Each structure stands twice: as C-alpha cells, then as structure tokens.
Structure 1
C-alpha cells in the first residue's frame, strides 16, 4: 500500500510529460506546415550555417525563403569561419533528407520539424521541473507555447540563421536546471538536458558565447536533488567541465578566418570584429545627428571623416575607402568604443534606449516568411501567432521605460524564489537577457531588431515562468 502512492505519482508525472510533449509537438507541426511551410529568409549570413552542414552557398540576402538548399555539383568544399550550432541541426536535417532520397540537400521542412521536436521536449522538461501544482504547470505550458510559436521567433527554427539554435538551447537549459533540483533519476536527466541545451545556446552565435560563465554559475547554484557534501558539487563541476571542453573544441575546430586587415583570426568572430566596431562607431556614435567633430575628436579620428557619418561598413561610401583609413585603423577597436561609451553616459543611454525599442519591436521587416512559389510579394511575413510580439510592439516606443520595469519585476521574482531552482532559472534568464541586450546594443550598429531577438526571447521566457505560483509542489502523501 505504501508503494502504490509513489508509483501513481511517477505514472502521473510520466503521463503529464508525454501529454505536454505530444500536444506541443502537434501544435508546432500544424503551426509550421498549415496551410504551407514558413521560415525566415536568409539575411546574407546563412552561408556559414550552410557551410557547416556541408553545403557551399554564395548567395546574398534573399527576399524569399529557399525551402531546399542543394550542394552544387563540383562545388569546392567550404569550412565555416566560426561555429553556429544551427549548422549541427542543419547537418542532421541533411542526413535525414539523404535517408528519404534527397542526398546533399538541406530541407527547411525537415529542419523545422526537427526543431519542433526539440522545442516540444524542452517545454515538457520545464513543465516537469516546475515546483508547483499541475494546473499551474499547464498554465505555464500554455504561456511557453505562445512565446515559442510567436511569429517573431518560430520562423527561426526553419532557417539558416543562428537564433533558432539559441532559442532551443535556452529552453532546454531552463528545463534542465529545474529538473536537476528534483530527486532521484530526474536530477541526472536534468543535468544531461542542461548540458545539451548549454552546448546549443552557448555556441549558437559569437554573441552568445558570453552565456557560458552565466550558465556555469547557474549550474553551481542549483542543488542536485537531495545530494549533500562532496557529491553535491561533483556533478555540477562535471557538467561545467564538459560544457567548457565541448565549447573549446567546437570553436577551435573551424577554419581560421581572414580578418579585414588580411591577418588570420585567432578567435571566433575575429574576422567580423573590425566590422562590428566600425558599424558601432559610424552608426551609433558618428551618426550625423550629434556633434560629429567632437565625437571624432573623442575617438581619435580625423575631422575629414565627418563625410562618412552614418555610413556603415557596407555603405557605398564608407570610411574604409579613405586614404587615411589605414593610419587610423587601430582606433576602430573595442577598447576605443568601450572608452567612448564609458565617458559619455548620455549618449550611451540614448543608444541603449534605441536598442530597447528595437528589442520590443521583436521582428525585423526584411526577413520574409514564404518561398517564392507561395505567391506573396518579396519580404512578405506571416502573422499566424502574433500575440506576444503584438503586445511588445505596443510598448516598444517606450524603450527603456518599458523594458527596465520588466527587468525589475523578474529580478524581484527571482529574489523571492532565491532558495529554489526556479529562482536560479529566473536569475539566469535575466542575466542572459541583460548581457545579450548590452552586447547587441553597444557592440554593433546594424540589424538591431534581429540582434536583440535572443535577449527578448529570454526575458519573455522569464516572464512566463514568473506566472508560476509561489507555493511549492506538495510532497506525495502515503495513505
């Protein structure tokens, strides 16, 4: 009799997990394929993801979605200049396409279905890990479905862009950390899920590498089940070590890139570092709307560069074309940009406020959703599930006046839950969102809305988890 209650409890948990997974997957598949497949078009950076999947692609930005990318016969093999874990998912999709008779082809339909499976499993993990009653967990599941399926995010799952893998990884990490705090085998499952999600999220983009130390701290803070003493620390240290080792190996396994100055890049993203700093200087600082000469003087750039104000790296008339540029190239550096923002708080606040508006806007207008055969005009977008992005769009003109209260709300909720795994997860998501926000806002002056998508997705996950009630799940009673 005493054994029946725990057994019923385990069976109920298993049924809950299977039910949430099956329902989520079914909804995602319908949302993805009906009435026709949707994705995100290539903004020009997709060559890296395709190269990582073994497909050489030289096309530029595309107004329509390519539902299938096929390796050109006789094309020279390529190696990506830095890793994006979306390439791993794409490579798996290529292998699955080969099994069904389409070798050397990346089908975005297969990729989207594969990502839907992972997303559904991650939502099930979060629901099973939440320390609250079943009804509250189902409410959280509904909120997660609205966020993940929103038109601002869902299309990235079937795209040759890095954001989709970041979304999946963050979902898995949230579920893994919550499961880690449970007892018995759930704790071991949680650690495995955390590791898998961490690898996906950390290596999704160069921008997301900063997630690694935040995740390491979160893993240390979550207590694995009822373990005490040395055993309580062994498992987290192993997970952190494995995360670091896989990340180091993955990032060093790519082909050294050639930086704009002709040297070989020593670290991931070095080939685009000068480009990012250049855009930050000439789009965020020397933008033509402020005291251009004073800004140039503070940056140590010549007064003649005023003619390039507001001209980014890919502008038809950038400063790189100026004969003086080689003499001042060393001023286009991260240190110079950080020094400027640190000594000009007013301008920094202005840039951050604009970035907050971009983040809440949620969706860039140049990423189309449909293939050319769908009959829609170029860059046309679907709006099948617009609830979350519609709400954030309403408050986007407020910028930091809307975003800061959201951060504070999540911070307070994390503090009230600080003794449990939910508090750790909320603090982790808040820290990731803040760091991604600052990195995208100050470290690059282009594609502000797209580069803020990871920060927005993360804070929305935190808000959904904040809807979980304060009371913990009651212990099973034994009749």
Structure 2
C-alpha cells in the first residue's frame, strides 16, 4: 500500500514534460543499452567522420557488414593519426566527448559506440522535456498528460533513437532541431529566462547548421525568421545580443557552405546530374547540351559515384574538365525552374521517402544476434511504421501542410501585431522557420544529390514535420490555436492599449 501511495504521490507531482522525458529515456535505454543492442549499419559514410577523430575500423570483416549489420566496437589510434579532417562538422565534438568517457570508464584501445549514445540520450531527454514543456505550458494537467503520451509515441520511436548508436550526423540534427524549436516556443510563451532561451536557440542553431553540409541553408533561414525575437524586449542590451546572435547564425550557414570539401562537392554534383536531371529527362542528351556538356556523357544516366564498375573514372581530370566544371547547384536550380514537369517529378520522388524516418537500406542488429542481413527492429516503432505507411506520398501534401499551418496561425499573428504584442507575433514565424528548414532539406537533397540516399537526406524534414505537427495538436488540445495566451506582460500591455486585444479563444 505504501508503494502504491508513493507512486500516486510521484505521479501527482510529476509534470507532463517530466513524464514524457522519463518515458522516452526508459524506452531508449531498453532499445540501445540492453541486448540485443539496436543501432544503425554503416552505409559507407562513416569513414568521413571516424578517422579524423582518432577512430578506425578494427573488425577484419567490417566491409561485409555494410548496410546489413550494426557494429558496436571500433579501434582507437594509440600513437599517431595521419588522417586529417575530411570535412568540418560539429558532430566531432560529440565524438570527442564520447571518446573521453570511453577512456575514463571503459578502455583506451577500443571504442564502444554506446558511450556516444549515452551522451545523445541525455541531451535528447532534455530536449524532449523542453518541447513538451513548451507545448503543454499553462494547459490543463489532463490535456498535458495526453500530449506527453503523444510525445513519447512520436519521439521515443526507435526510428529516431537508433541513430544514437551510429556515426551518422542525424543524431545531432534530431537533438539540435528539437532544442531550437523548443527554445523558440519557450521564448514565445515567456517560459524561463529570455536570455537563456535565446542562447539555447542560437547555440543549437549553429550546431545544427554545422553538423552537415546539407544544413547550410538552416543558419540562413533561422537568421531571417529569427528577426522577430529582436522585438521581444525593447532594451538596448537584449537587442544588441539578438543582432549578434542572428549574425552568428547567418555566418554559420555561409561558412558551412564555403567549407564543403571539393571531393564531396563532386560526389553530390555527380548524383545531382545522373540521379536527378538525366534520370527524369525525356531526352538526357539534350539536357546535357543545355549545360554545355558533351551529349556522350548521357551514358552516365542512372549511375552512382560509388559504382564499382563505371564507363569513366569519376575522379579523372577528363570528367573534372568536361563534366563537373560545366555546371553547379545554381545552374541545376535554374534548369528545374525551366523544366517544372521534371521538378515536379523529382519533388514527388522525394515525397515518397520524405516520411520514412529510418532508411530501409540499413539494418539495426549486430551480426552475432543471428538476425538476417539488413534486419530492422520493430521495438517501439509504431509511429515510424504508421507514418511511412499512411502519410500521403506526394509533394502536394507537403504544400498543403504548410498552407494549412499558416492559415491556422495567421489570425493570432495578425491580432498580436495589431495590438503590438510583439512577443506573441513570434509563433507563426517560428513555425515558418521550422517548415522552411524541413522543405529546404527536400529541395537541397534533390538539387544537391538527386535521389541518391534520399531517405536519409530528408531526415530534417521528418523531424520538423513531426515537431510542428505536435505543436499544432498541442494548441488544438489546449484550445489556444487561434488565441494569444495571456501572461502578465501581455495583459499589462493590452490594458494600456485600451482593453484586451486578444482573439476569442475556443474556451468561450
């Protein structure tokens, strides 16, 4: 009886945010840290981030496990690492932190990837707490717990958390985009200290932007839509800090693009042409001529940069001079603008994989479990499976989602703007920012690499879609979709302006 009472007492004092965070934490511990361990198989990209961080593949049969099996243990360079950084990525600082913990508690010669997963798990638990706190703030306890349950169902899905046991940058994308959105919502709702939330927003934005080259537009989009935060406080100190923060995010976006290594630029350009422009062109030879490229290169149509047998050396000077140097991402964008039918086909191809959280090509189990090559887990995967199965697979649905969201939140934005409650005008721009980031992920994937590995490239769209949709559900259940929630600041200002100024709520 005492235990039951204690449980009831704890549940009675636990906030929905804490309940959601604990739920996601427990599920993730079971999935990633109890046998059989769940992770992600290498698709061949790990080398980009491993060697420069002092880690190497110590399994003699490692290459046979590509795509099929998750590998938990790796070697640590002991004396001299001749490998320089192949690319700049904020992901490296998390790997370095995991290596430190590994040295401290495990071994100096073998790296157990679960130390990295533990770091990500702790950060993710905090991120889940903040997003649920932001969405449930000042809602009824009953509705709050319903939203907490929804959050666990969505964000506890192993389609997301399996990335923690991998060297893909999607883990950083997941966590930092959630911190970023949560901080923005908490600023809007005036929950916690404004300066702390602004710092969290900027820090997570910069880390997200620099986590992978594909995210270069994120910093620019965040800087543009983040201008609204400048109006939250009219103090010179706060506004100066905000200007510095926006400039930092903009610089991070530009810098990430500039620092893309030429090797990876060529890989992406190759796929953008062979798996994009040529693949959906009714006349590939004519398409090449529009770029000033010899039509004989149409033979590369549908091919991959990594194909073991190719008609031409993808690293040759011939291809550099006569193929790669003839076009860029800007000219591909212009081509699609001039051929909207092809653009529509590519966007719909992207939409087919745009709601797949876990790429179907990578397995989740270690080989010693006896699972078939490429087997994927079904443990707590209900949301990812339903989303992949039920979501409309057209880009038209994505456009509809954006338009509906804008339509739902426009009345409260207009009301807040007219009554000069500028803090309350930040909600719609924040949602537009997240949707813009997600859609940019789709567009950049197409322009930058065609349909090559597109499901993983669209991961940012997946998480932004889920977070924005979760916020919409939260506002619907909280009956404040078309209202501006009152707080002491807005009530005082509304009274000063002559009474209220708030749109009627659904409670009336």
TM-score between both structures, scaled by the size of structure 1: 0.84
Note the C-alpha offset of 1:15.
5.5
CA distance in 2, matches of 1:440, 1:417: 34
Q: 1:323–1:290: structure 2 CA closer, same or farther, 3 Å change rule? A: farther
Distance 1:409 1:293, change over 3 A: same
Contact 2:412–2:484 (CA<8 Å) still a contact in 1?
A: no
Counterpart of 1:41?
A: 41
Question: Does 154-163 or 97-106 show the bigger shift?
Answer: 97-106
Q: Report matched runs for 1:55-204 at 5 Å.
A: 55-57=55-57, 61-73=66-78, 76-103=81-108, 105-130=110-135, 131-135=137-141, 136-183=143-190, 185-204=192-211
Contact 1:172 1:194 in 2 (8 A): yes
Classify 1:154/1:224 alpha carbon distance in 2 versus 1 (closer, same or farther; 3 Å). Answer: farther
Cα distance, 1:232 vs structure 2: 4.6
2:402 equivalent in structure 1: 407
Matched, 1:385 2:380: yes
* Distance (whole Å) between structure 2 residues aligned to residue 168 and residue 240 of structure 1: 20
Kept in 2, the 8 Å contact 1:39–1:108? The answer is no
Quote the Cα distance in structure 1 between the aligned partners of 2:290 and 2:247. Answer: 43
Pair 13,174 (structure 1): closer, same or farther in 2 beyond 3 Å? farther
- How big is the shift at 1:468? 1.9
Q: Shift in Å at residue 449 of structure 1?
A: 1.0
Are the aligned partners of 1:25 and 1:116 in contact in 2 as well (CA < 8 Å)?
A: yes
**Counterparts of 2:313 and 2:156 in 1: how far apart (Å)?**
42
- Structure 2 unaligned regions, length at least 5: 1-11, 417-423, 489-508
Contact 2:356 2:462 in 1 (8 A): no
The 10-residue stretch of structure 1 (434-443 or 179-188) with the greater mean CA deviation from structure 2: 179-188
Superposed CA offset, 1:249-294 (max 9, x none): 8x69xxxxxxxxxxxxx62243211221111111112228722232
Offset of 1:120 from its aligned partner? 1.2
Q: Equivalent residue for 1:290? A: 282
Please say if 1:432 is aligned against 2:437.
yes
Q: Quick check: 52-61 or 171-180, which moved more?
A: 52-61
Shift of 1:459: 1.2
What corresponds to 2:493 in structure 1?
none
Deviations 1:135-183 (A, max 9, x none): 4444443333333222332211221011110110000001111222354
| CA distance in 2: counterparts of 1:17 and 1:393, whole angstroms | 27
Partner SS, residue 361 of structure 1: coil
Q: Do the aligned partners of 2:132 and 2:148 also contact (CA within 8 Å) in 1?
A: yes
- Map 1:291-306 to 2 at 5 A: 291-306=283-298
Q: Which residue in 2 is equivalent to 1:280? A: 272
- Does the residue aligned with 1:468 lie in a helix, a strand or coil? helix
Alignment of 1:193-272 (within 5 A): 193-222=200-229, 227-243=233-249, 267-272=259-264
1:123–1:472 distance in 2 versus 1, CA, 3 Å:
farther
Q: Deviations over 1:350-374 (max 9, x none)?
A: 1111111121233322211111222
Alpha-carbon distance, 1:39 to partner: 1.2
Note the C-alpha offset of 1:199.
Answer: 2.6
- Alignment partner of 1:466 is 2:478: no
Q: Report the alpha carbon displacement of residue 26 of structure 1 after superposing the two structures with TM.
A: 2.6
Q: Equivalent residue of 1:360, what SS? A: coil
**1:17 shift after superposition:** 5.1
Shift of 1:314: 2.0
Q: In 2, distance between residues paired with 1:32 and 1:215?
A: 32
Quote the RMSD (CA, aligned, Å): 3.0
Distance 1:429 1:84, change over 3 A: same
With normalisation by structure 2, the TM-score equals 0.79
SS state at 1:325 partner: helix
Query: Number of aligned pairs?
Result: 450
State the distance in 2 between where 1:284 and 1:140 align. Answer: 40
